[in-house]
Amino acid sequence: MIFGFGKKKQQDDDDHDEDLELISFQGPVSGPPPNLNENPGLVRAGLIPAKEIVSDAVSRDASMLRLDPKGAGYIGMLMVDGMKYPGPRLQKQQGTAITQILKMMAGLSIQERKKPQRGSIKADYEGQPYEITIDITPTPEGERLNIYLANLKTRPNQPDEIGISETLKEKIREIAATREGFIGVCGGPRNGLTTSTVGVVRSVDAYVYGVYKVFDTGTWDIPYVTDFEREEGHDLETTITRAQRSEAEVIYVPPITSDEEAKVLIKAAAKSGIIAEYPAKDAVSGLLQLIKWIGDEELVASNVKAIITSKLIRKLCPSCKQAYAPNPKLLAKIGLSKETKALYRHRVQPQELQKGETWDSCPKCHDIGYQGQIAMFELLEMTEGMQEVVRAKPSPDAIRAQVKKDGGLTLQKDGLHLVSNGTTSLEELQRTFKS
């Protein structure tokens, strides 16, 4: 059951079907393993098909597989490096069985079909450890299944792997050195928000400062950060207070989901550094969201230190990218130094080959031209000028004008840096900001 979508050609389909190694599900990330003997019929109907579609997605480097109930069946969609590709089409009965078995493997309730559920599965594919997150959303036609796939061995972990430059890393360390203030990390859907937040936490010098986390970060490995457990019956505010009394200087807290949580964190930031993630498309939107949640411009101006935003962009395939000499007028127009000798783009196959010419397909990217993603970053720092803007009930334009005046890092600046050093292409940068 192999479903091609453009990244790999479906060559030797029959042989490929037979050769595909199936993923091994090893039970929930949290909680006891499921008792498969309690549902033998579901296991027979759904386990092997579930392994097949997940294995196929993993073999194609997909980060997400969606199964959406539509009419008499399920329509699949895959995400590879942020791009959508057609996925499997399944009959309703099979799609339902796959959804239910994956819920069971993630420790979710197979009886509950009216409420959203989310859980994770430990898995192994060709000797590589995976975390498979199962996200269930009820719809009028059934349950939409989003399967998020993370290779724990190759997942970016270090700040530079994620895309945090040395300059931004030093700025984060400078802010953290005050041992107080709120650092918010925000981003849009499917832009690696948690990965970016982990990168920000890892940018803090945990050798020098007491860095604590007060929630379960699952399979994320954050060395030298103290795991401070919340006691039964204690809310977030009580847990943070206990951590502060235990000499926590910087605290990594759960994602913000409400104005009540935001108010707790902003007040706590007067006594220690607080790092939290929340959804917002850019740093300006992130600051405005905080002001809306807190409802007190003075409190935001006083206790917020910085808002950091990330946005993913595809990286050029290192095996087949091509250098070209840029037009000086183009360099001036986009704001790159005239000393830039070369930019890079993905290799394009000619429409017609000349006699005697051959075209060798790239074995790494299969002629897509891109392989993997990296984050661009934006930093909105609470300078004295920005504090005055915030206190005056700011508009988005006023905040942007102050960021420009402060010379802050923007997504566009960071993206152009990635273009200039050959990590990505100008075409990809333009596509990313249009999407």
> Tens digit of pLDDT for each residue in 297-354?
999 999 999 999 999 999 999 999 999 999 999 999 998 988 899 999 987 766 666 6
Which backbone phi and psi does 301 adopt, to 5 degrees?
-60, -35
**Dist. CA 255–CA 187, nearest whole Å:** 12
Would you say residue 122 has pLDDT above 50? Answer: yes
- Encode pLDDT of 82-95 as tens digits: 999 999 999 999 99
For the domain made up of 13-151, give the CATH fold.
Answer: Beta-Lactamase (3.30.450)
Nearest to 4 by CA among 62, 50, 47, 51: 62
Residue with tokens 């977030």: 236
Work out the burial of residue 77: count CB atoms within 10 Å of its CB; fewer than 13 is exposed, 13-18 middle, 19 or more buried. Answer: middle
Which amino acid is located at 19 in the chain?
A: D
Question: How many Å separate Cα 183 from the centre of its chain?
Answer: 18
Other CB atoms closer than 10 Å to residue 74's CB: what's the count?
27
Question: How many Å separate Cα 50 from the centre of its chain?
Answer: 24
pLDDT score at 8? 41
- Encode pLDDT of 200-251 as tens digits: 999 999 999 999 999 999 888 899 999 998 888 899 999 999 999 999 999 9
**Dist. CA 368–CA 329, nearest whole Å:** 29
- For the chain, what are the domain ranges? 13-151, 159-309+378-405
CATH number of 159-309+378-405: 3.40.50.300
Would you say residue 384 has pLDDT above 90? Answer: yes
pTM: 0.87
Work out the burial of residue 304: count CB atoms within 10 Å of its CB; fewer than 13 is exposed, 13-18 middle, 19 or more buried. Answer: buried
pLDDT score at 13? 41
Other CB atoms closer than 10 Å to residue 316's CB: what's the count?
24
- Encode pLDDT of 161-172 as tens digits: 999 999 999 999
